[in-house]
Amino acid sequence: MIEMIDLYKSFNGQKVLNGVNLKTFTKEIVTIMGKSGCGKSVLIKHLIGLLMPDSGSVLVDGVDITKLDAKGLDVIREKLGVLFQGGALFDSMSVEENVAFPLKEKTKLPGGEIRDRVMHALEDVGLKEMGKKYPEELSGGMKKRAALARALITEPAIVIFDEPTTGLDPIISRSIHRLIRTTHEKYGYTALIISHEVPGIFEITDRVAMLHLGVIEEIGTPEEISNSSNPVVRQFITGSLEGPIESLS
């Protein structure tokens, strides 16, 4: 479903992506982990088409998006749903209006059908009774749930999660992880997750990729990553200050 091939990207002479190779299979959940500033968000922006690589390819469902014009990118983006790190809900809209927004913008569905789909999406994320509330009235976890409902409302083939549990306590974080798994089972999307939640994210992901110095240092199942002898991987998952990863950003 997603394939990045020899992806290179530099900014002002500084290499951020230095030959990234990553393949995500259909309906798989893959988590990308790595220290802050290692290029995870840059990688995601290439997948969405917000950035183009200096060289290399980004294939989405077999189509190299680096060769597409704006119209072609729009077609690919219809396959994508994104849960942004801060939720990115519109403050002036109710939860229902936020979730309905993609359908109103991208489809010609009648109002009644949009309302029905919004109600189902809110029920799927546990916010059935919160539709009339505004983002400022929601807790951090509820905002993430509302943002997830919006990301899923168009039934995308791929959902990108940009640090979905940032700022949440461990209990709420675990509930969001479980919600990702249950909605994944229901909707059957392919998921790419950016996360620092180690080892919590290991409960729901199929594979984990370690991004370090612009390349995928290692990729494997949660068990394989947990038992890795790679010093970069070991340092990151244990949180040690000693090792090849610099402790200061």
pLDDT per residue over 4-49, tens digit each? Answer: 999 999 999 899 999 999 999 999 999 999 888 788 889 999 999 9
Compute the average pLDDT of residues 208-236. Answer: 94
pLDDT per residue over 119-130, tens digit each? Answer: 999 999 999 889
Strands (E), the chain: 2-11, 14-24, 29-33, 55-60, 63-64, 80-83, 158-162, 190-194, 207-212, 215-220
Q: Taking the model in full, what pTM does it have?
A: 0.89
Q: Assess whether pLDDT exceeds 50 at residue 249.
A: no
Q: Assess whether pLDDT exceeds 90 at residue 134.
A: yes
Q: Percent of the chain beyond pLDDT 70?
A: 99
Q: What is the pLDDT of residue 247?
A: 62
Least confident stretch, 40-49, 69-78, 162-171: 162-171
Contact (CB, 8 A) for 122 and 128: yes
What is the 3-state composition of the chain as percent helix, strand, coil, each rounded to the nearest 5?
40, 25, 35
Radius of gyration of the chain (CA): 18
Q: Assess whether pLDDT exceeds 80 at residue 188.
A: yes
Tell me the pLDDT of the chain averaged across its residues: 91
Q: Assess whether pLDDT exceeds 90 at residue 197.
A: no
Compute the average pLDDT of residues 134-141. Answer: 91
Q: Assess whether pLDDT exceeds 90 at residue 212.
A: yes
Compute the average pLDDT of residues 135-142. Answer: 91
State both tokens at 178: 């479980």
* 3-state class (DSSP) for residue 45: helix
Task: Tell me the domain boundaries of the chain.
Answer: 88-155
